[in-house]
Amino acid sequence: MKVSELREKNPAELEESLLDLRKEQFNLRMQQGTGQLARPSEMNRVRKEIARIKTVLNEQKAGEA
C-alpha cells in the first residue's frame, strides 16, 4: 500500500491495519522457524509496511500537537 493511501485513512483504521500486519508477521516468523516459509521476501514486505503505518501515525500525532 502506498503512503498516500495510508494518509487518507483515520488513526483507527491505521491501528487496525497495524494489528493485522503484526499478526501476519508473527505467522511468517513461525513459518520461517519451522522451515515452511515459501517466500522470504514476504518478511521484508511486512516489516516495511509496518514501518510505513507507524510513520503515518506519528505524522498524524505530530500534526495534532
pLDDT for 57: 95
pLDDT for 41: 96
- Length of the chain (residues): 65
Q: What is the domain range of residue 58? A: 3-64
Q: Is the pLDDT of residue 51 over 80?
A: yes
**What is this structure's pTM?**
0.91
What burial class does residue 43 get, using C-beta atoms within 10 Å of its C-beta: 0-12 exposed, 13-18 middle, 19+ buried? middle
pLDDT for 58: 96
Domain count along the chain: 1
pLDDT for 64: 81
SS3 call for 63: helix
- Which CATH number covers residue 60? 1.10.287.310
Alpha helices in the chain (DSSP H): 3-7, 11-34, 41-64
SS3 content of the chain, % helix, strand, coil (to 5): 80, 0, 20
1-46 pLDDT, tens digit per residue, is 789 999 999 999 999 999 999 999 999 999 999 999 999 999 999 9
SS3 call for 2: coil
